């Protein structure tokens, strides 16, 4: 038998090591991209009613359902379809304050999903995606949020809440909301409530709690959706008012106040629904009603311009937020 020279053996070993290193780098990079982009909406979303200017029946292959990665009873989510420059820093901030028990699901468009792939250049963002603490769910291409009614319609359909199973508690936040790292409060302090957000009672801006930064009981939200239809009620009440401007109905065109109305009705029917007092709610989130040391803020530049000095000291992170709604035109 002819023996290989030591040089040949050494060359083979070096070649094998180099090939192994190349394959490891190649597949690790592609794995990260896949983890960022493989969450897509299933086909034929069972909307109770279509958004004002959108349908959600696009057929897309389901690669990996969110329920495979949301294994705990808590989840945070944001619906954002604009490629905002503050989106990644804001999400990283929420992830930091909430901690690892709160995975974050981003519902967005295919275009923004592609932008978020580029965010893998951000080491902190890439690490959280790799560790399944951030999940990106791509909406069907024909879901368009052109106005607030379309957003509310989307949030009053079962599909979005079903995707967040098996979590019992859902923190819904927007890019005009923030959590304060100086707060002695934590999100877990409010898990006893079925719906809590910035209080609106007595402000002249409606009833209940604003949904822009809100913690909700997912199962109870689904129960409301099973029993009622936001779009059908809105259409019916508008029809009544069109026929008689003195009709004793008030169209509820925003999802948070619609949910509050339904939860109050459940309470009155004897169901054990727990809602916070105004004092508790404003300690959770400040919007219109003031609290010195809240856990978070919503739309502070709109409602609290005269207190921005205090907010700068208590919650300097508020400058990460963007005062805009999801249906505003995307920046050029």
pLDDT single digits (tens) 309-331:
999 999 999 999 865 544 444 43
% of the chain exceeding 70 in pLDDT: 72
Q: Residue count of the chain, please give it.
A: 332
Q: What is the mean pLDDT of residues 125-148?
A: 88
Check if the beta carbon of residue 137 is closer than 8 Å to that of residue 52. no
More confident residue, 193 or 55: 193
| Spatial distance between the Cα atoms of 92 and 182, rounded to a whole number of angstroms | 16
Check if the beta carbon of residue 61 is closer than 8 Å to that of residue 40. yes
Looking at every residue in the chain, the average pLDDT score rounds to 79
Q: What is the mean pLDDT of residues 112-135?
A: 85
For residue 307, the model assigns a pLDDT of 95
For residue 147, the model assigns a pLDDT of 86
CATH architecture of 36-218+275-320: Alpha-Beta Complex (3.90)
For residue 113, the model assigns a pLDDT of 87
| Bridge partners, 288 (sequence order) | none
Q: What is the mean pLDDT of residues 159-166?
A: 94
Q: What is the mean pLDDT of residues 127-146?
A: 88
Top-confidence range, 30-44, 68-82, 127-141, 262-276: 262-276
More confident residue, 259 or 32: 259
Residue 156 phi/psi, 5-degree rounding, is: -110, 20
117 Cβ neighbours under 8 A, 6+ residues apart: 33, 36, 37
Helices (H) then strands (E): counts for the chain? 12, 10
């Amino acid at each position: 038998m002819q023996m290989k020279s030591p040089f040949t053996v050494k060359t083979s070993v070096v070649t094998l090591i180099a090939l192994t290193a190349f394959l490891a780098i190649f597949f690790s990079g592609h794995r990260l991209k896949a983890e960022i982009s493989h969450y897509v909406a299933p086909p034929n979303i069972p909307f109770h009613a279509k958004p004002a200017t959108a349908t959600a029946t696009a057929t897309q292959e389901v690669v990996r359902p969110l329920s495979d990665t949301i294994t705990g009873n808590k989840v945070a989510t944001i619906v954002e379809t604009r490629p905002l420059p503050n989106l990644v820093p804001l999400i990283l901030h929420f992830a930091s304050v909430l901690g690892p028990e709160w995975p974050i699901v981003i519902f967005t468009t295919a275009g923004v999903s592609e932008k978020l792939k580029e965010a893998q250049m951000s080491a902190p963002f890439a690490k959280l995606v790799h560790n399944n603490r951030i999940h990106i769910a791509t909406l069907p291409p024909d879901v368009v949020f052109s106005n607030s009614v379309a957003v509310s319609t989307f949030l009053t359909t079962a599909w979005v809440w079903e995707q967040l199973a098996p979590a019992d508690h859902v923190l819904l936040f927007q890019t005009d909301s923030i959590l304060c790292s100086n707060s002695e409060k934590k999100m877990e302090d409010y898990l006893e409530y079925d719906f809590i957000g910035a209080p609106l009672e007595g402000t002249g801006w409606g009833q209940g709690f604003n949904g822009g930064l809100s913690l909700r009981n997912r199962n109870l939200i689904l129960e409301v959706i099973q029993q009622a239809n936001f779009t059908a009620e809105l259409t019916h009440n508008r029809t009544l008012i069109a026929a008689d401007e003195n009709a004793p109905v008030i169209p509820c065109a925003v999802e948070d106040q619609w949910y509050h109305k339904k939860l109050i009705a459940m309470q009155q029917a004897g169901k054990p629904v727990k809602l916070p007092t105004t004092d508790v709610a404003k300690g959770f989130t400040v919007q219109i009603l003031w609290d010195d040391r809240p856990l978070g803020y919503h739309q502070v530049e709109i409602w609290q311009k005269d207190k921005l000095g205090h907010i700068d000291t208590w919650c300097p992170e508020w400058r990460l937020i963007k005062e805009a709604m999801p249906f505003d035109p995307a920046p050029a």
